[in-house]
Structure 1
């Protein structure tokens, strides 16, 4: 009659959901660490959360990596892989419910001999578009021109390292200014990174990935993608690039 029983049930349901979410996060981190340890045991060196280089690979420099131009094999659900002529991946999502679905589908997969999503690319850097191709993509996505070419970034002001940071996903809490700039700012858990936050210029020649160049202050992308900066969701009525 009072409804207290229903409130108790609702609270129990919410608690169960919270525990399930926590168990899900712990499982993902545990699986990530298992994969990382396997690669390290096989002679790979971890460069970032998602990138591992063979220990005997030629030295490349501290800040050389660019996902659009380096060859890369992605391992695991949602991972993207690049060769000089092909960009491919399995299903990818950012919504928690969708992540669970595609992860369950991935773990049930036995045939990994084919890619689910992909496209062939060409050009000197492997990711260039002819004017005709760019026109086709722009017809689908009017904001595609922002993504067509790498953006010159050397010496230009960038929000990373001031109001934007990147945290390594290995659980240690290492904070960097950007996913593509490997110098460390400090640690997330002890708060030491806060002392390093300051305006700074980009040390790389170009930035060719959305999660990087979207933070360049010389580009209008915070206004263009006001609906979701990292998710690349445009503001209502965003103008053509």
Structure 2
């Protein structure tokens, strides 16, 4: 079977010892494309612009081989950030209207140093830290609520003044139903415990109000933490900017003091 290398100056040049495509009597096998212009320069811009450049390169290679995008049957897409998936699809759908088969995966790095936007290395830890803080705040708040509504004998893990500050109408992850006599579910379970059989499970006693629904409550607390994360991130950014301003003022004051000392 004969195999003919394909090359065109209208597409990005190969970044290594390979051809832009190989043409056989039955198919054309194209090499991968990155967002480079025909001169080999990486383009800057949105993911849509980069996707457009990659497809334009592929289009030029296929036309040089005597084919077209309309005859493509399989596409492999490699993204440096899967967060660009939706935006990439917006541009991709304009070119491949016949919807060929496709695979799309995220990779750590692509040729010529084409990597994920550096801001991601900042925002990803910020997202994670803000979520952990949000989860801790939700847990502290709900611990105080459970102590208030279920008559737990153990004191809350926060000071009384902070308990009053964070206490408000319960949300999804705190059950607050009371019966007609005004007795909380937690207190009612404790009162009824001597009159019924106490069954031991892997999670503990079956009348343990909180831990009997632990998995569901943890999932709800995680959902609340995700909802709270935006405000925590804003708070972290404000605090960071404040600390940077204070540091700048402190450094400026120190430099001024050193200059004054040297002049004297």
How high is the TM-score relative to the length of structure 1? 0.22
Q: Which has the higher strand share?
A: 1
TM-score, normalization: structure 2? Answer: 0.21
Higher helix share: 2
Q: Rg bigger for which structure?
A: 2
